[in-house]
Amino acid sequence: MQISCAGKVVLVAGGTGGLGRGVSLAFLAEGTKVVATYRNEEEFAVLKAAAGTHAELLEGANTDVTDESSVTSLVAEIVAKHGRLDVLVNTVGGYAGGIKLWELEPKVFERMLDLNLRTGFVLARAAIPAMLKQGGGVLINIAAKAAFDHAAGASAYAASKAAAVALMECLAADVKGTGVRVNTVLPSIIDTETNRKAMPDAPFAKWPKPEEIAGVILFLASDEARVVHGASVPVYGES
């Protein structure tokens, strides 16, 4: 199957992170205009260097995607400059685990909700009206296997990811028949530098790599996936 996203305008939230960088690079390699949000200038510089000859298609936006006004302004700027926003991929997230619920600090719980749930709400609330106006678009939100696999010590993380799945399923029902598609991708442990450092004795070879997950995201963003809507797609690898 030939998958193409060439010519599309894509916003990758968290586009310089462990997964986000892989997603940004995959879209750039397809000839896609990519706007990547980031919070660390050095990470954006790394992404731009990795983009190589495709760097001219890359734009960066230092944006707090938990902040509604900042995200609303960003989407408006993208539409004003490029005339449309075809795809939104939200790769922003965070993890806190190994903590029993009664020992969990409220600020940690709130942080998980901000990173894993609120980002999806804020981004969708800004992007969906623009997609509806243009008659189509794709939103892909990254949740996690933990949305369904509720382990001990992961209450805040699992709850935030489960809520993110429910949020996107409801949104998919809201936009049914409009030409806008909404799907969720569910990784388990991704083979990133951060995860390797956190689990140095783990079986890295069994973890899916960012570029492998990015391939699934590319498909979901493409016209070839026009029949996929309201789905939660597992990309667990062997982990």
Helices 41-51 and 18-29: crossing angle in degrees, nearest 10, is: 30
Which among 159, 163, 140 is positioned nearest to 151, based on CA atoms? 159
Per-residue tokens: 26: 């995959």
Which residue out of 38, 95, 157, 236 is catalytically annotated?
Answer: 157
- Residue 49's Cβ-count burial label (10 Å; 0-12, 13-18, 19+) is exposed
Chain Cα centroid distance, residue 171: 16
- For residues 152 and 173, give the distance between their C-alpha atoms in angstroms, rounded to a whole number: 32
Cβ proximity of 237 and 156 under 8 Å = no
Helix and strand totals (H; E) in the chain: 8, 7
157 is catalytic: yes
Annotated catalytic residues are 157
